[in-house]
Chains A and B, each alone.
Chain A
Amino acid sequence: MSSAPPRPVHGKLLTPGVTFLLLLWGLGTIAGLYRFIMGLGAATSMNDGYPWGIWIAIDVVVGTGLASGGYVLAFLVFILNKGKYHPLVRPALLTSLLGYGVAGVAVAFDLGRYWTMWRIPVSPQYWSSTSVLLEVALCMMAYTVVIFLELSPAWLEGLAAGMVPGRARFAARWLPRAEKALPFLIAFGLLLPTMHQSSLGGLMMMAGLKLHPLWHSGFLPLYFLFTAFAMGFGVLYFESIFSSAAFMRPLENRLLATLGRYVAGAILAFLALRFVVLGLEGKLGLVYSAGRMAFFFWAEIVIFLASAVIFLRQGQLGRPHQQLQAALLAMLGGALYRVDVFLIAYDPGNGWVYFPSVSEILVTLGLIATETVIYVLVVRKFPILAGVSTPPGRDVPAGLTEGTAS
């Protein structure tokens, strides 16, 4: 069905939805300026007990988890050889690129000595081989470049179809080379997220007693890999359905239906492993006795379980509303798990508390808004989404209220 080559969607850029997002971008920019002028202490609620707030926990840790769509899809298409999912690859890579871009900007906001950030990749003489964070940082930087290159056929095709002769010549020369290099780029694009998504979990192993025992484990790296899978697949579904609605394109629901069992399998394996490991570590009693923390633990379990069940059920009919429910639950479950590890289950003791400040929230919303606007802009201008597009010149309001063409 949606196997026609990717094409630009076209249509009007400044829709009411985009205008609202630009407003959020403006507020986020003001809050961001405030941080750089007044300093971290004035702009954020972070403190010596909670040195990492939502800019790390949500923008980086949850954000790159949600940006794992490109990762899981590349695995499915090029390693498990499921060529039929290929139409989903480009939009997934685009969201991944944007997600990692946002994480990079968030880190620049968060670093106390942000003007020294450039030294990290260019100072191998200082690199500490024991630092998990260094591995995460270098891997994420490299991966952002790799996704950009993986997407290069899309923007080269865009240039080739354009009116500027110089650009078209450039595209004609590099397009074949980009396609030849693709398998190696894909291999990098699979290796790097495997490394840094697991290492995000590795980061919090060092917190030791400060991380609640229900979450602290030598298996944190593996858990983070599982949640990257769950969130990556969730985003894939969400994005496909959202794009269908927003740009009035045919739904890819049949294509997505058969994918559900892989997602459900990954989620169920994650849940089973967690209980087995808690048992082996002798912490199973805590799931009843840990009070408020037990609530958050069970919230994760229930959300993931519901997601897995719906992913299995939607497989029969491929109903879009079920797919959307399952996807949102998988994204939510992964996000909650990661925020739990980085903030909610983290307790430095000594009476420290943290709740994000207005500036922190505005910067985060601003970054998400920017990401969304760029996505809309790029799919309208570049060949990202596969299949039929509405004829150019027709105004298409971006809004989920518009009828879907399924």
Chain B
Amino acid sequence: MTMTRRGALKVLGAAAGAAAVTTAEARTPKPSGPDDLGLLFDATRCVGCRACSIACRDANGLAPDVAMIGGAPYDAPADLNGSTLSVIRQWSTESETGYLKAQCMHCADPACSSVCMMGALHKGKRGVVQYDVDRCVGCRNCQIACPFNVPKFQWASASPKIIKCELCRHRWDQGKGPACAEVCPRGAVVSGSRPELLAEAKRRLAAKPAAYQGGIYGETQGGGTACLYLSPVGFAPFGLPALGNEPAPALVETVQHAIYQGAFAPMVLFGTFAIVAWKNRHAVTAAEENDS
């Protein structure tokens, strides 16, 4: 007696039902910690002196990214790149122009570490998104995932690494924080714990409400970031994406969890396939014999 198609479909249906009964649990966003280290950048104070960029290079031992401008060499990276962890960029609107510091945002719930196959990018102490080259295979999925296009790949290297800001965690032992904040002459970039930075940002907003627009970027965007931004013109001119409050990993991991139910759904599916294929194994030869 061979299994009919209807019989097979019944088994498949039952398996699908069993998998659906265990309810899909939504993966909730991961909150930031009270001790998470971050930066506050205030575009109303930045004059574009680039002291932070130079200090970052020194502190992290990165060679200057030299370009010839008007016949003279300048350390002038246009963007974050394989040897640049922090950069000052210009922004402009119809009436105003100013500067913007870009570096890793250190998300509370980072997409880069969610996609990373072997945890080369992962949340470390004080919420820092850090990189461990020994676990990196160079797949560059982090670059696809990051909503801020932060992780950079050393394209020209024979042994390429992913490069991104780690908030100078190698200096913490010496009692020092991020080098960029240390050298800023105008308090445009300050470092501290995220709750402290949020309080400072709110203090500045309250003191001069007319000077700012758009609130605090990073307070809720993308599930919250440890690096926060204040702007006189809102955040679209900065090129910061208009992210919702839900971090991307919450959606992706919810969908994946709904499909897989841990390993339960694949196991049920495998068992079903195995039983049906085993029952049908003679049908194949029978059909062939009938044909000939």
Contacts and interface: CB of A to CB of B under 8 A. Distances in A.
Interface string B4-35: 11001000100000000000000000000000
A177 interface: no
Nearest to A201: B255
B274 A195 contact: no
Contact of B137 (A46, A113, A128, A346): A113
A349 interface: yes
A203 B141 contact: yes
Contacts of B274: 183-184, 186-187
Contacts of B157: 39, 41
Interface string B263-280: 000100111011011101
Interface residues of B, number: 70
Interface stretch (B40-48, B49-57, B109-117): B109-117
A77 B111 CA distance: 41
Given A48-B149, A48-B152, A83 B119 contact: no
- Which secondary structure dominates where chain A touches chain B? helix
A5 to B, nearest CB: 8
Contacts of A113: 136-138, 159-160
A51 B255 CA distance: 24
B155 A46 contact: yes
B147 interface: yes
A191 B266 contact: yes
A111 B248 CA distance: 24
Contacts of B249: 130, 206
Interface string B115-140: 11111000000000000000111111
Interface string B224-260: 0000000000000001011100001101110110011
B234 to A, nearest CB: 17
B2 A81 contact: yes
A155 interface: no
B75 interface: no
Contacts of A207: 144-145
Given A127-B118, A130-B249, A218-B255, A349 B138 contact: no
Contact of A111 (B118, B138, B255, B256): B138
B117 A81 contact: no
A81 B114 contact: no
A120 B143 contact: no
B105 to A, nearest CB: 14
Given A4-B292, A51-B140, A206-B252, A79 B117 contact: no
Contact of A130 (B4, B152, B253, B269): B253
Contact of B252 (A112, A137, A202, A350): A202
Contacts of A34: none
A235 to B, nearest CB: 21
Nearest to B287: A83
Contact of A81 (B8, B145, B253): B8
B199 interface: no
A134 interface: yes
A43 to B, nearest CB: 10
Contacts of B99: none
A312 interface: no
A243 interface: no
A81 B283 contact: yes
Nearest to A83: B287
A111 B119 CA distance: 16
A191 B259 CA distance: 13
A49 to B, nearest CB: 7
Contacts of B242: 209
Counting from the closest, the 9 A-B pairs by CB-CB distance are A112-B138, A83-B287, A41-B155, A51-B140, A187-B273, A187-B274, A113-B138, A126-B118, A3-B291
Interface of A: 1, 3-4, 39-42, 46-49, 51-52, 77-84, 86-87, 110-114, 116-117, 119-120, 123, 126-128, 130-135, 137, 182-184, 186-188, 190-191, 194-195, 198-199, 202-210, 218, 221, 346, 348-350
Given A79-B273, A112-B138, A209-B242, 17 more contacts: A46-B155, A78-B280, A79-B8, A79-B276, A81-B3, A82-B5, A83-B288, A84-B287, A111-B138, A128-B117, A131-B117, A183-B281, A186-B273, A202-B255, A206-B144, A207-B145, A349-B239
Interface of B: 2-5, 8, 12, 79-81, 111, 113-119, 135-141, 143-145, 147, 149, 152-160, 239, 241-243, 248-249, 251-253, 255-256, 259-260, 266, 269-271, 273-274, 276-278, 280-281, 283-288, 291-292
